[in-house]
Structure 1
Amino acid sequence: MRFKAVIFDLDGVICHTDQYHYQAWKQIADQENVFFDEQVNNRLRGVSRMESLEIILEQADRPYTEEEKSVLAETKNEIYKKLLKNMTRADLTEEVKGVLDNIKNSGIKVAIGSSSRNTKLILSRIGLADYFHTVSDGTNIQRSKPDPEVFLKAAEALKLAPEECLVVEDAQAGIIAAHRGGFHSAGIGEASKFHLTEYPLSCMGDLLNVFE
């Protein structure tokens, strides 16, 4: 199938910031004496900051006010942004950059569809600040994945219909969002085993096979 655009999730697809998210949330959980481990962290993949906080606070022994939640979420984000300063162009692998260049040079548009509000900061750190035709992220949406809004906004900016776009995701929530929005989907990592994923990928290089 000849797609006109590929919309990439950011975290876990273009680069990996999981370790920074985990460290930041762990600091918040420890501060609040709330249990937090890798299993809880896995539930946060692909969802918004506030929804992630709600998941973490399921383990809390007291209720939190909306104001308290807002402060905790903002504190987490400040910790996370400081950790992101450790990112460099080395966090963009040659494999991923090669796939991006190959797709873009073939005349297919490339976009980002991420729930993160720090998307542009991350892209800048890894040397892709002005690389994509459009960036749809947590700053221009009201609803995070599995709602398809972030992908629909990207397609709208590209002036393409959802069915003309391929979404590349690593989380089930992102694949569900693509499915609900009428997009085709490719999944890597956890998403490669999800039943709604149309094109399972064992590595990013496999994405090029979709276009053969």
Structure 2
Amino acid sequence: MSLKAVLFDMDGVIVDTEPLHRKAYFKTFNQLGIDVSEELYTSFTGASTKRVCDTLIERFVLSETYEEIAAIKRAHFKDYFYNDAEFDLISGVRELIQHYYENGITLILASSATMVTINMVFEKFGLEKYFSGKISGADLKESKPHPEIFIKAAEMAVQPLENCMVIEDSTNGILAAHRANIFCAAYKSFHTHNQDYDLANIVVSDYSELEVDKISKFF
């Protein structure tokens, strides 16, 4: 038994797109002429764009359709994605990805984001060559905390589950890895709020702690 594959979550692990979504949403609210409170915005955490738009239409009696609001938000998000100077990879993650790649470890991306967003991130930051495969939870029947995405990622890596490790940052993702019976490293950053790490096998706040020689004792 040894570490042969690492299954990466994306948001909160490789990049943090939450601030971009936030800016894009508030710019959209502004354009629609509605005043969304911090409390209401917080209640949208983890919700799909459709659910957010439907809530806004109902709450503020808007004449715009879900598609129209989603298109406005998407345009703002894209603009921030390519032009926001603060948007970058999470500290230390590029070095970790390169480290695994150089050590012959198979890398698979297993994210709830849409494939469009995944491809945008990979293209912007030049990550394509390091990864053997990508899975979008948006294309699956079940979503995290269901283990389907990680079981499929391990199959894509062509490795038994005991030779895989998941890197996650959210309660749902950690639970999904646990249910898939895959070793899970939880990444905790100053962006992380109210997540439960109890089921993670190891919790780190610096990616250098996940280098091969430091975690080989677990495998």
**Pairwise same-fold verdict (TM > 0.5):** yes
Aligned partner of 1:99 among 82, 96, 101: 96
Mean alpha-carbon deviation: is it higher for 125-134 or for 146-155?
A: 146-155
Counterpart-to-counterpart distance in 1, 2:147 and 2:61: 30
Alignment correspondent of 1:202: 205
Q: Post-superposition shift, 1:166?
A: 1.1
Q: Deviations over 1:172-210 (max 9, x none)?
A: 121122122222211112488521111101221211222
* One-letter amino acid of the structure 2 residue matched with residue 44 of structure 1: T
Structure 1 residue 122 displacement after superposition: 0.9
The residue number in structure 1 matching 2:25 is 25
> Could you list the per-position Cα deviations for residues 108-141 of structure 1 after superposition, in whole angstroms to 9, with x for gaps in the alignment?
1111111111011111101113321111124532
Instruction: Compute the TM-score of the two structures, normalised by the length of structure 1.
Output: 0.78
Quickly say closer, same or farther: Cα 1:62–1:169, change in 2 above 3 A.
same
AA of the residue aligned to 2:216: F
Preserved contact between residue 188 and residue 200 of structure 1 (Cα < 8 Å): yes
Structure 2 residue aligned with 1:130 = 129
| Percent identity of equivalent pairs | 28
The total of aligned residue pairs comes to: 207
Call closer, same or farther: CA 1:38–1:62 in 2, change over 3 Å: closer
Which deviates the most, 146-155 or 193-202?
146-155
Aligned to 2:36: 35
Three-state SS of the structure 1 residue aligned to 2:109 is: strand
Partner of 1:130, secondary structure, is helix
Deviation at 1:48, TM superposition (A): 4.6
Report the CA distance between 1:29 and its aligned residue: 4.3
Change (3 A) 1:73 1:128: same
Quick one: distance in 1 between partners of 2:216 and 2:176? 22
Range moving further from structure 2, 105-114 or 184-193:
184-193
Q: Flag the 1:96–1:49 CA change in 2: closer, same or farther, 3 A.
A: same
Question: Is the 1:26–1:36 Cα contact (8 Å) retained in structure 2?
Answer: no
Which residue of structure 2 lines up, in the alignment, with residue 12 of structure 1? 12
Structure 1: unaligned runs, 5 residues or longer: none
- Residue in structure 2 matched with residue 44 of structure 1 by the alignment: 45
1:144-187: CA deviation from partner (whole Å, max 9, x where unpaired): 32233332332222223334321111111211221222222111
Change (3 A) 1:183 1:15: same
SS at match of 1:195: coil
Check the 8 A contact 1:87/1:125 in 2, yes or no.
Answer: no
Secondary structure class of the residue paired with 1:136: strand
Bigger CA radius of gyration? 2
Q: 1:82 aligned to 76, 79, 82, which one?
A: 79
Normalising by the residue count of structure 2, what TM-score does the alignment of the two structures yield? 0.76
* Partner Cα separation in structure 2 for residue 204 and residue 181 of structure 1: 23
Task: Give the match's secondary structure for 1:80.
Answer: helix
- Bigger drift between 79-88 and 29-38 goes to 29-38
Amino acid at match of 1:126: F
Q: Identify if the C-alpha distance between structure 1 residues 171 and 99 changes in structure 2 by more than 3 Å, giving closer, same or farther.
A: same
Matched residues in 2 for 1:178 and 1:32: separation?
42
Aligned-partner SS, 2:198: coil
Q: C-alpha deviations, 1:80-129, integer Å up to 9, x for none?
A: 122211268x8236722221121222221111111111011111101113
Residues 11 and 26 from structure 1, CA distance in 2 versus in 1: closer, same or farther, beyond 3 angstroms?
Answer: same
| Partner amino acid, structure 2, of 1:27 | K
State yes or no: 1:57 paired with 2:33: no
Gaps of 5+ in 2: none
